[in-house]
Amino acid sequence: MSISARRFSPSCRPGCRPGALTAFRFVCPGFALLALALVLPPCTRAAEAAVPDGWKAAAPRDEIRPRLTYDPSGGLDGQGRLIIEADAREGLHGFWTRTFSVEGGQHYAFRVLRKAHGLPFERRNAVVRLLWQNAAGKPVLTDEPMVKGFLPGYTPRAEPEYPGETTLRPDGWTEVTATYRAPPQAAQAVVELHLQWAANARIEWTGAALTTTTPPAARLARLASVHYRPVGGKSPADNCREFAPLIADAARQRADLVVLPETLTFYGLRRPYADCAEPVPGPSTEYFGTLAREHNLYIVAGLLERDGALIYNVGALIGPDGKYIGKYRKVALPRGEVEGGIQPGHEYPVFETRFGKLGIMVCYDGFFPEVARQLSAQGAEVIAFPVWGCNPGLASARACENHVFVVSSTYTDVASNWITTAVLDRTGRTLVQAEKWGTVVVAEVDLNQRSLWPSLGDFRAELPHHRPVWAGEPAVRPSPAK
């Protein structure tokens, strides 16, 4: 796609009326000059402030170009504002762009602030893009590892970056940040600040900067899963106790998170669902809380919850301090659970942990894309997956399409060619898999390590801007600063 980019030419700031000139079209030149001086707004009589050096206004095509102006006041710490305004027409798309000099191999911190008005979906309408180029303005190659096994022979080009970490500041500005390592051949980075696909909308940008920084620290998480079927127990409490040595084994392997299977207080007891259900939090979460505190790790346990007359299939999260953190109520119910009187949930909580953001889905949820997508859309980096049985290809798809790690714990034997007890990476590939009953598998992952695809680049960073809007999706705002 060709891009039309040119330096901004002066025009009125908001409040000016270009139509004010119309009345003077047929008046003699001398009188017209006097009249213009008397009636036009100050922003027209005075010279428009020059756009800061290096910034240019651009659009994919002139016919969809919104109004791009610069206001020298009102930005961050007395800086000016780069403004993009869309009128009532659909499909307008414009951006401000500037080229920054960089040194190949150096790490850079990017930051810009924005204020948005009238955007239906900020994740799609307010986009920041960064392109790496050589001194001649051409794309460069990357030396970051690529996902292997696809597009053999593909030249590993540095694809566009999409800074996406946002924080809503107390002053009303949303801060967008990211840290990158410039590719070895890079000599410049082109920053683009977009408004796209939002009628009657406005974005103000200020404080854009690209500065050298130190490399970000690794964010390691040791993810563990238990491959076990409780046997011989006569009560839900008996089943819980059978997992104690396996949780201790996970702790010996320095696990941060250990995932247990689905409905573990029901398995093998030959009782109705309702007879095995309990309040959550309740006796089982209290028991697992003692183990979590003893071993300083997070536990996700599949339980049956009773809430009044309702029974839910849940995944409960207990923290390393032994306290119950929260639960996910299974949304997608197979026919056996429907026939057994279980109630579906309808919420998709994501939990902050010491290693990252954790979501939970349960068994049949894995057959449908919606649950994992809702969790990843709310920031989940890891999804715990207590699961009785599931198509393994779909479990891999849930990991890959959302670029999350999936930790599954199942009752299914590995010989069944069905779901396994495993840790899947962001590409859907198996990092570790249990082969024998009564074992624990652990994988160490770096949540700060990107997964780059040939042609796509950092797909996880692109997801918020490129995935479709779903019916009923709220216009989510960035999280407030803490």
User: Which residues are known to be catalytic?
Assistant: 262, 330, 363
| Token couple for 215 | 């490399």
Q: Is the separation of the CB atoms in 136 and 144 below 8 Å?
A: no
Question: What DSSP string runs through 368-405?
Answer: SHHHHHHHHHTT-SEEEEEES---HHHHHHHHHHHT-E
**478: nearest Cα among 154, 156, 115, 202:** 115
Rounded Cα gap, residues 387 and 358, in angstroms? 16
Amino acid, single-letter form, for residue 329: R
Q: Closest Cα to residue 356, out of 461, 248, 257?
A: 257
338-370 per-residue burial string, b: 16 or more CB within 10 A, e: under 16: eeeebbebeebbbbebebbbbbbbbbbbbeeee
Dmax over CA atoms of the chain, in Å, equals 103
Q: Is 474 exposed, middle or buried (0-12, 13-18, 19+ CB in 10 A)?
A: exposed
